[in-house]
Amino acid sequence: MGSSEFVFRPGSIEGGDFRFDVGTAGSTTLVLQALMPLLPFASRQITLEVRGGTDVKWSPPVDYVKLVMLPLLAKLGVNISMEVVTRGHFPKGGGVVRVSSAPSGSLKHFVGLKGGRTSSIVGVSHAVKLPSHIAQRQASAAVRQIEEKGLLRPEIEIESPDNGSYLSPGSGIVLAAKLENSSIVGGDCLGERGMPSEEVGRLAAMRIIEEIESGCFLDRHMGDMIIPYLAIAEGVSDVSVSQITPHTLTNINVAETIAGIQFDPVGDLGKQGKLRVSGLGLRKTLTGASPTEPRLSEGS
Catalytic residues: 247
**Amino acid symbol at 33:** Q
- Cα separation, 68 vs 176, whole angstroms: 6
- Cα separation, 247 vs 11, whole angstroms: 28
Beta carbons of 22 and 53 less than 8 angstroms apart? yes
Side by side, which strands form the sheet with 184-190?
155-159, 118-128, 170-179, 184-190
Q: CA quadruple 208, 210, 215, 221: dihedral positive or negative?
A: negative
Per-residue 3-state assignment (H helix, E strand, C coil) for 65-107 = HHHHHHHHHHCCCCEEEEEEEECCECCCECEEEEEEEECCCEC
Could you tell me the CA-to-CA distances from 87 to 153, 196, 254 in Å, in that order? 27, 21, 31
- Cα separation, 60 vs 58, whole angstroms: 7
- Cα separation, 130 vs 166, whole angstroms: 11
Quick one: DSSP state of residue 291? T
**First vs last C-alpha separation in the chain:** 36
